[in-house]
Structure 1
Amino acid sequence: MTSNLKNVPPNWQKVRFDEIAQIVTDRIEKPVESGLSDYIGLEHLDTDCIRIKRFGSTEDVDATKFLCKKGDIIFGKRRAYLRKLAVSDREAVVSAHSMVLRPTGDKIYPDFLPCFMQSSIFWKTAHSISEGSMSPTIKWKTLAAQEFWLPSIEEQKKISELLWSIEDNIQKTEKLIETIEILKQGLLNELLTKGIGHTRFKDSELGRIPEEWEVKKIKDFCDVKTGTTPSTENQAYWNGNIRWMSSGEINKKFIYDTEKKITEEAVQNSNLKTHPTNSVMIALNGQGKTRGSVAIIKVPTTCNQSLACLIPDEHLADYLYIYYNLQNRYLEIRNYTGNNGREGLNLTIVKNIKIALPPLEEQNRIRNIFNLLDNSIQRNYENIAKLSSIRKKLSNKLILGDLITEL
């Protein structure tokens, strides 16, 4: 199979994939005895991301794996529609569900190969040659025989320099986000215990706090509620226009919508209440790291029994101050247990969580500082999204030959 271009630019050449890439099959029978600490599975590759941002441990894997070296391309040969491919920055052990590839021959500029493999024309071919229905997989023999049109080496060099420069900017922006996050964490620990400009402190059950602050239980300044799950067998209760939230949806600061919607009939025939905008939601339980996570709903929402909704008295407490306080104490709160010793949060535990509460004016000043940092983090994430979009569009146009004459 040959990937077709509508108009092949001058000086482009048609190549078989095995003329520009070789598969590396250095086997590692016992990963834990390999002398390597890092493991790269398909779960460590992100869709459309050319860098590997997280790693597993060789202590947690067994069976035969492959060896990759710095600069090798890790290609997810299983479920190619997920578009998982990245360049390793280290020597590591790799899942057998991946192919380890290296540039080869004089028809490819090494830095260009991973850029080319992230293009739509390559993924279209990869998807078309995948075999199997439940877990479609690509065989090296089949991939090796595929033919592609490539620009000249000089043009490949220009394209890869451009695309990698965009990737460098993405990486620098990610580093900036990490720096702001560290600054934010330091300020959280400082401002939520010492406040702003205080010189006189007192001992409390939460440690030393400013004299003007009070230790209060959440139930003293919030109305705490939960929800329920309407009968899934009654279709009249579902696919309505009332938002219904579960704990698994707490994965960001602000919640503007929910995956599922219920009907007015479901609300009328249950003890569900619609929680107001700017309520703080805390996960009572849930998979993985969900329990103890917090978010703020920015639209009226109902919820199930896995969530507690904190509706603050606006004369006593600021919703963002509550959010930042609980977020900063995530590990402490998720490990609370009830009187029966069972793991997991409940409404009684949440109502009795104690918070060092400044006067409302100071709460607002503290929350505004954290808001500025969060807004900066959000803007940088938006910049990353824009750069990623530009890189993807440029990659596809350049590798299709649409812009090559402008380089």
Structure 2
Amino acid sequence: MSEQEITLDQFAGDSSESKSEESTVSDVDYPNEWGVVNFQTLISDVRYGTDTKSNTENNGYPTLRIPNIVGGKITTEDLKYTPVDDKEFERLKLAEGDILLIRTNGNPNYVGQSAVFSGELEDAIFASYLIRIRVDRDEVNPVFVKEFLNCHFGRKEMAGWISTSAGNHNLGISSIEKFSTPLPSPDEQRKIAGVLHTVDQALETTEDVVSQAKRVKKGLIQEFYSEGYYDHTEWQEVDKQDAYVMTRADRVPAEWEIRQSDEIADIKTGHTPSTSVDEYWDGDISWVDIHDLTQLEKTVIETTDDTITEEGLENSGAKLLPEETLVLCRTGAIGETAILGKEMATDQDQVTFECDESVVLPRYLMYLFEFATPQLERLSAGSTHDKIQLHFFSDLEIPLPSLDEQQKIVDAIESVDDVVIANKEQLVGLKRLKKGLQQDLLSGDVRTAGKEIDIPDEVKNYEPE
């Protein structure tokens, strides 16, 4: 963990030195008080799920499948149901504390991912691509086991047991039983699980804030770009069936102008300097491509993965664009946008708008394109790939409020966008914290023994029966 990250001290109010090594279980120098045991000795029951076809018509028992295991948690979204007889139901019925593990997938990163069932559904069962592990709670806490299976050490331990067949990566029960597993005392297991669960709760809360803020932002964009910021009373009809009209509404305020895009902005595209000429690359000019836009968590782009030189700029069709230029992706990720935070160039998959700010604000246009992305996508129809030809952008019809109203719209949406961005940054920090704590706590490099740590009820629930 980095020096900037929160450590166990902030959970326990003590000081300990922290370090982490990338190792398998057999390579880790665990504390002498810990055991390293065969996973089979901790299991009271393990079995595969049902291979009976499931449905979405509520016919049968709610059935957890691969899509319901997400980030170490169980989600009940996209739920399906499976009709099974009473004997099969009793065999597959989930109980609180059961661990569900993904046993097969085309992506090896999903295989072995686990979550603890906490009674999210009544009378739930599980599908055949999952394995249910029921552990002996006198020996081990299921939340501790889940954390181990999902951490770096557990992932590396199971990697040696995953087989590949017909493009799928598979993990069977017999292999799972052979895992080597560290086994601290029950008290230390509870504390480790408690600390990690506390971080999970913070992650979940922050994710909820992001989701809610995104919904609010979507609603504001829908309202402001249809009805306006002010209370308008007169309206003009627009033809939203025309893909060139940048609105999804049937009408906009009568006071708004409808202007052609090339009247309010200088519209360009970029270019890629020859990749075979080393002198064109790794210079001082930031060069925007599709990956920079799709990876961007903010509205303003400050840095790019690749840079070009003055020579690369001069010997290509790329153009140096001023700060505050709006960039919009026209190929692949159509509708992705960003505002340049400094002078930059772009590749040919982007279209750029140098706005006449006496008429239109770049950020107003950015949020308008977000609102009207379905219209933009229609302009790519007929292309072999999802791509909008450059000449289409000159003919877009842009609804324009007064500059004052544009600024009000931008300020309101940005206030919510700021919440999304801040909480996304917090999520990155929390995920880094979780990974670091997993490394430190599950290796024994940082000990919980002797520390006063509050144990959440979700961990206490799985005390020995």
- Normalised by the shorter chain, which TM-score bucket? 0.7 to 0.9
Classify 1:337/1:129 alpha carbon distance in 2 versus 1 (closer, same or farther; 3 Å): closer
CA drift of 1:83 comes to 8.5
Q: Does 1:178 align with 2:211?
A: yes
Shift of 1:356: 1.5
Q: Which moved more, 1:216-225 or 1:194-203?
A: 194-203
In the superposition, the TM-score normalised over structure 2's length comes to 0.71
Equivalent in the alignment of 1:254: 300
* Per-residue deviation, residues 151-180 of structure 1 (Å, max 9, x unmatched): 222332333233223212321222222222
Instruction: Find the aligned partners of 1:254 and 1:83 in 2 and give their Cα distance.
Output: 37
Distance 1:213 1:270, change over 3 A: same
Report the alpha carbon displacement of residue 340 of structure 1 after superposing the two structures with TM: 9.4
Question: Aligned pair 1:73/2:100, yes or no?
Answer: yes
Cα distance, 1:344 vs. partner? 3.6
Specify which of 168, 182, 201 is matched with residue 168 of structure 1.
Answer: 201
- Pair 1:271 & 2:312 matched: no
Distance 1:141 1:394 in 2: 30
Q: Which residue of 2 aligns with 1:61?
A: none
1:212 aligned residue:
255
- Structure 2 residue aligned with 1:333: 376
Does the C-alpha gap of structure 1 residues 76 and 385 become closer, same or farther in structure 2, counting only changes over 3 Å? farther
CA distance in 2, matches of 1:13, 1:342: 57
The 2-side partners of 1:173 and 1:147 are apart by 34
Question: Which runs of no fewer than 5 residues in structure 2 stay unpaired?
Answer: 1-23, 81-91, 240-249, 454-465
Structure 1 pair 86/203, CA: closer, same or farther in 2 (3 Å)? same
Of the three residues 224, 233, 238, the one matched with 1:200 is 233
Residues 166-209 of structure 1: per-residue CA shift (max 9 Å, x gap):
21232122222222222211111212233233343231436433
Alignment match, 2:344 = 301
1:156 match:
189
CA distance in 2 between partners of 1:339 and 1:85 (Å): 41
- Structure 1: 5+ residue runs without aligned partners? 59-66
Q: Which has the higher contact order (CA 8 A, sep 6+)?
A: 2
- Aligned counterparts of 1:276 and 1:54: Cα–Cα separation in 2: 47
Identity across the alignment (%): 21
Contact 2:147 2:193 in 1 (8 A): yes
- Structure 1 CA distance for aligned equivalents of residues 181 and 363 of structure 2: 54
Query: Are positions 1:108 and 2:133 aligned together?
Result: no
Moved more, 80-89 or 104-113: 80-89
Tell whether the 8 Å contact from 2:361 to 2:407 is kept in structure 1 after alignment.
yes
Instruction: Kindly provide the amino acid, as one letter, of the partner of residue 113 in structure 2.
Output: L
| Residue of structure 2 equivalent to 1:283 | 329
| Alignment CA distance shift 1:155-1:276 (3 Å) | same
Q: Determine the structure 2 residue equivalent to 1:64.
A: none
**C-alpha contact 1:39 1:55 (8 A) present in aligned 2:** no
What is the deviation of 1:221?
0.9
Matched residue SS, 2:133:
strand
The one-letter code sitting in structure 1 at the alignment partner of 2:315 is: N
How many equivalent pairs are there?
391
Deviations 1:74-103 (A, max 9, x none): 24677767886232767687685xx62413
Structure 2 residue 36 is matched with structure 1 residue 14: yes
8 Å CA contact 2:326, 2:340 repeated in 1: yes
CA contact (8 A) 2:270 2:317 kept: yes
Compared with structure 1, are the counterparts of its residues 112 and 341 closer, same or farther at alpha carbon in structure 2 (3 Å cutoff)?
Answer: closer
Paired residue for 1:145? 178
Q: 1:95 to 1:311 in 2, by over 3 A?
A: farther
Of residues 180-189 and 209-218 in structure 1, the stretch that sits farther from structure 2 once superposed is 209-218
- Between the aligned partners of 2:37 and 2:186, the Cα distance in structure 1 is 13
Is 1:150–1:399's contact at 8 Å kept on the other side of the alignment?
A: no
Q: Give the partner amino acid of 1:16.
A: N
For 1:244-269, what per-residue CA distance to the aligned partner results, in whole angstroms no more than 9, with x for missing partners? Answer: 33334322333333233333222212
Q: Partners of 1:334 and 1:239 in 2: how far apart? A: 33
* Stretch moving more, 165-174 or 311-320: 165-174
Distance 1:261 1:24, change over 3 A: farther
The question of 1:222 aligning with 2:265 is answered yes
Equivalence for 2:362 = 319
Distance 1:344 1:4, change over 3 A: closer
1:286-334: CA deviation from partner (whole Å, max 9, x where unpaired): 1xxx123322232322222221111111221111111111101112221
Q: Which residue of 2 aligns with 1:51?
A: 73
**Per-residue displacement from partner, 1:95-154 (whole Å, max 9, x unpaired)?**
85xx6241322322222211122333323433466678x998766545433333312223
CA distance in 1, matches of 2:283, 2:219: 44
